Structure 1
């Protein structure tokens, strides 16, 4: 079990290598939210006479929650495995005496913990 905790720490360290990337991701999420708010506000203002199923406040709450959840659930595991295959490092990962799926999950968990803490 200790080895998987080490892989969680590796996932955290890999994500923390470039602190400016964390800020860039945070600012891009804020920009995305602003653009979504602007688009939906314009849509609600243009359809003010019609009865809509969702009101403006509920739609904006949905946008915020969906953005937060999608940023936590974002998974780069396929890209990481693809990079390992292309570089040939997948052989090293597969011959280790640990379960490959659990190792990949542990790395992803560490990455997700950083996203929860900083984004």
Structure 2
């Protein structure tokens, strides 16, 4: 129980630190609203030209939910570790009687809760006001929450895996930018994946990124129910396991490589 309390303290720290940057949170929400306005204009123009092979409301709902999911599962393990590697405090972190990985995880859970409250829920409210988003059934609402939690774990583990490069480069922002750009393109944050042609769609299906955003979105929009919803859970769990194993192997290699700048 004492260890659990320690990790809960890291959750609290992550949330509290986020509240210290309330202006950033407001600007992030404003940026999301402006992005959605731009997206609305673009897709409305495409629909007006008769070039949209789906309903406009469905596309807009998908993209808005992509923003909700993206903000809820946003993590930056690369930035967390790179700062400590550069400053040489990573050695002290490793000496603590708690798992560094769980410490970072708990800290980012706190930040995620803050993001959900200050960005995810407001963006969802905007969707209900202006796009006429349909509320999912109780089962799918619970399924969405479960899938969102699995998505957070999947994104965290992938971020942890890519953050191992920090031990060789000591530069976290570039690694984070590369990872988030890849995620956004392949996960369904930028555009509905169901608009992809069959051949390309199959390629996206075999990658882990789709299940970081598209999976939860399918459940919320009732495109996935029953066994299909369970299939999404299964694929998310599968990739969580695969990336966790890869992350553990990379972590062991990084600890052997560990050289602290100036230390």
TM (norm. structure 2) is 0.43
Deviation at 1:108, TM superposition (A): 0.6
Provide the residue aligned with 1:14 in structure 2.
17
Q: How does 1:13-92 map to 2 (within 5 A)?
A: 13-47=16-50, 52-92=52-92
Provide the residue aligned with 2:222 in structure 1.
none
Provide the residue aligned with 1:96 in structure 2.
96
Distance 1:115 1:84 in 2: 23
Superimposed CA distance per residue, residues 36-72 of structure 1 (whole angstroms, 9 cap, x where no aligned partner) = 111111111122xx6x431111111111111110111
Deviates more, 1:101-110 or 1:83-92: 83-92
Distance 2:88 2:45 in 1: 50
Distance 2:91 2:79 in 1: 16
Provide the residue aligned with 2:167 in structure 1.
none
Cα RMSD after superposing both structures = 1.2
Deviation at 1:81, TM superposition (A): 0.8
Superimposed CA distance per residue, residues 5-44 of structure 1 (whole angstroms, 9 cap, x where no aligned partner) = 1000110111111211110111111111111111111111
Q: How does 1:96-115 map to 2 (within 5 A)?
A: 96-115=96-115
Deviation at 1:111, TM superposition (A): 0.3
Deviation at 1:112, TM superposition (A): 0.2
TM (norm. structure 1) is 0.91
Q: Which has the higher contact order (CA 8 A, sep 6+)?
A: 1
Distance 1:42 1:87 in 2: 50
Stretches of structure 1 lacking an aligned partner (at least 5 in a row): none
Stretches of structure 2 lacking an aligned partner (at least 5 in a row): 120-263
Deviates more, 1:68-77 or 1:106-115: 68-77
Say how many residue pairs are matched. 116
